[in-house]
Structure 1
Amino acid sequence: MTHTFTLADPRVEAALGRMFEQAERDEATAARMMPDGFSGMSPQDHADAAAQIYIPISAAGGGLLYNLVRAVRPATVVEFGMSFGISTLYLGAAVRDNGAGRVITTELSKEKIAAARGTFAQTGLEDVISVLEGDARETLRDLDVTPDFLLLDGWKDLCLPVLRLLEPSLRPGTLVVADDINLSSLRPYLAYVRDPGNGYHSVAFPVEDGMEISCRL
């Protein structure tokens, strides 16, 4: 019996290796591009200022996402915050290996979108990934499909608003994953999903900077 494992495709391995290597320079790039940080910026200004910064998910976190999507077999994966597309490649590889489904991802930076689309084409995953350009609070407002798996990895202060926007369409059993739970800006989101009264059972998973895996009840 033949098993497909797209993460082992040389094109995917090469793309991930290249981007992880470039992401190692994030700290130096951020210090050069934004010496005063992001304070007071609008989401668009924030995205423009961070146009050269990868802000990646970890390789271990990407592997976890791949396994979750393979297990859940969602018809539609929605991602808030594509950046250069590292996490999107893990999601797309899982969808491809499931044999069905698609990934809808969102990004504000035109530069990152152009680079990511090139990567998706080079890795042969462009047919399972759709990129929505603009503020996710707008581009996801009129989504014509129901998310079966949701990854929240954009600006942390917007994770809760994006969840609340999509929440009315989430079916019981839908998994919602948020990355970087150690960041203080994610605390309002964590307080919300960790309160069972809001309709989730939530577990913190200790991978790199931490992931919150929440199941819609």
Structure 2
Amino acid sequence: MNVIADPKLQAVIDRLQAKSRAQEAETGAWFADRAKKGELSWEDFDEKSHRFMADKLVALEPAKAEFCYLTCRALRARRVVECGTSFGVSTLYLAAAVRDNGGGTVIGTEHEAAKAAAARETFAAAELDPFIDLREGDLRETLQDVGGPIDFVLLDIWTEMVVPALRLIGPHLRQGAVIVADNTASSHRGYEAFFAWLADPTNRMRHTTLPFDGGLEMCVRD
């Protein structure tokens, strides 16, 4: 049995995941070439990189996305925050979980206007738009008001924006809330500030790196 029990939704997801996989070789080669030339920085995602990534889905892998869906179901999550919506593939899993839990809201954030527009079309096609509040712009502005206690957070965004997001979201995490962050093993250097935030006892977090490809950090609020 599929984790996603809605065949129409699964068809939308499969189409988008296939498109994302088709882009992976080009994306990997481009960043490898820039790294070889010494043009990449862990502290900043520059304009050249933003332009290249403007049409790339970079979807969360299906196994990770399904894990997020199941975690949200287990938490009975009603209010979810996703940092880095892109074309909205992982948002579909989160919104499906909220819907299947009886209702709620996924607050998505996306800086690129074209990606946000494409994501909204996808949400409508999947009939999940009533459960998604997609906020377009800089997350340091869009996450100023998250509207209440947060049950689950997905961090799938350029690493320099993770801690700014958590400074806004952190005070609203309920006890037992879960944060999931992607690629914390493969991008450990970029996540240094994130791990420092987790280590700060005032943030009341416990965490472990799950053995998904690239590492997936699961963090729980005490």
Is the pair's TM-score, using the shorter chain for normalization, greater than 0.5?
Answer: yes
Alignment match, 2:75: 72
Q: Secondary structure at the residue paired with 1:50?
A: helix
Contact conserved, 1:6 with 1:12, CA < 8 A, in 2? no
**Mapping for residues 1-217 of structure 1, pairs under 5 Å:** 7-30=4-27, 36=34, 39=40, 46-181=49-184, 182-183=186-187, 184-194=189-199, 196=201, 198-217=203-222
Offset at residue 194 of structure 1 (A): 4.3
Cα distance in 2, alignment partners of residues 20 and 62 from structure 1: 11
Unmatched segments (≥5 aa) in structure 2: none
Cα distance in 2, alignment partners of residues 47 and 83 from structure 1: 12
* Amino acid across the alignment from 1:122: A
Report the count of equivalent residues.
Answer: 213
* Amino acid across the alignment from 2:162: C
Unmatched segments (≥5 aa) in structure 1: none
The TM-score, its normalising length taken from structure 2, stands at: 0.85
Offset at residue 143 of structure 1 (A): 2.8
Contact conserved, 1:157 with 1:185, CA < 8 A, in 2? yes
Change in Cα spacing, 1:110 to 1:33, as seen in structure 2 (3 Å) is farther
Offset at residue 81 of structure 1 (A): 0.3
Offset at residue 26 of structure 1 (A): 2.5
Q: Secondary structure at the residue paired with 1:77?
A: strand
The TM-score, its normalising length taken from structure 1, stands at: 0.87
Contact conserved, 2:3 with 2:66, CA < 8 A, in 1? no
Between stretches 102-111 and 40-49, larger displacement belongs to: 40-49
Q: Secondary structure at the residue paired with 2:124?
A: helix
Residues 62-103 of structure 1: per-residue CA shift (max 9 Å, x gap):
110010000101221011000111110110111111112111
Aligned alpha-carbon RMSD (Å): 2.5
Offset at residue 165 of structure 1 (A): 2.0
Cα distance in 1, alignment partners of residues 6 and 63 from structure 2: 18
